């Protein structure tokens, strides 16, 4: 397997606003062709983070939790990649449905962000940013999240994920 973990960064995020800001900061590092996989239970903050990514990339349309849509394309407002936001929750494990989305066609010119994509979209790219969002243990406010960013593959050895902790 050529996909090797090259970098891990953990960030504590204390509010929804700060999760959006983490997305803004991460967006500065994203390039066309990047695949970002978001893992975390319902309400963890995957869509909130994606909202920040959309703002940071400067794309058209509000990032929402799609109810009936599996993938939404947010075109760039100026130069830069489109944001393709995928909620793969209702997708079967089979590759057929995933292939219908033509993510492989979109990926070179886009940033593709996938919620619930584990076991479904890894084949798209050997280079992936896996973002795991967990509720902090013992947090009575339910506003604290622990975000672990795992860069996989050569592309992420050239990113500066460490800057996200500052």
Residue 64 near ligand ADP by CB under 6 A: no
* Interface with Mg ion (CB under 5 A), residue from 27, 35, 36, 47: 47
Angle at alpha carbon of residue 55, lines to 5 and 81, rounded to 5°: 65
Q: How far is the CB of 65 from Mg ion (least distance, A)?
A: 5
Q: Which residues fall within 8 angstroms of residue 104, CB to CB, at 6 or more apart?
A: 124
Residue 110 near ligand ADP by CB under 6 A: no
Q: And the tokens for 158?
A: 């050239």
Give the relative orientation of helices 16-27 and 46-57 as an angle to the nearest 10 degrees.
Answer: 40
Q: Which partner from the list Mg ion, ligand ADP, none does 43 bind, CB cut-off 5 to 8 Å by kind?
A: ligand ADP
3-state DSSP call for residue 82?
Answer: strand
Residue 39 near ligand ADP by CB under 6 A: no
Q: How far is the CB of 65 from ligand ADP (least distance, A)?
A: 5
Q: How far is the CB of 20 from ligand ADP (least distance, A)?
A: 8
Site string for ligand ADP, 66-95 (x = CB under 6 A): ------------------------------
Q: Which partner from the list ligand ADP, Mg ion, none does 75 bind, CB cut-off 5 to 8 Å by kind?
A: none
Instruction: Name beta bridge partners: 134.
Output: 146
Q: What is the C-alpha to C-alpha distance for residues 11 and 14, in angstroms, rounded to an integer?
A: 10
Q: Which H helix or E strand runs over 149? A: strand 145-152
List residues near Mg ion by CB under 5 A.
46-47, 65, 115
């Amino acid at each position: 397997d050529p996909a090797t973990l090259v970098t891990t960064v953990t960030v504590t995020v204390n509010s929804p606003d700060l999760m959006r800001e983490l997305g803004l900061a991460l967006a500065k590092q994203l390039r066309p062709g990047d695949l970002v996989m978001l893992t975390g239970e319902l309400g963890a903050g995957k869509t909130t983070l994606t909202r920040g990514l959309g703002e940071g990339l400067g794309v058209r349309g509000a990032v929402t939790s799609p109810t009936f849509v599996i993938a939404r394309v947010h075109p760039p407002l100026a130069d830069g990649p489109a944001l393709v936001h995928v909620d793969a929750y209702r997708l079967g494990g089979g590759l057929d449905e995933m292939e219908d989305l033509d993510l492989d066609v979109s990926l070179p010119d886009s940033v593709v962000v996938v919620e619930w994509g584990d076991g479904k979209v890894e084949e798209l790219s050997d280079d992936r940013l896996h973002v795991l969002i967990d509720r902090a243990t013992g947090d009575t406010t339910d506003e604290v999240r622990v975000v672990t960013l795992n860069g996989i593959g050569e592309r992420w050895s050239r990113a500066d994920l460490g800057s996200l902790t500052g």
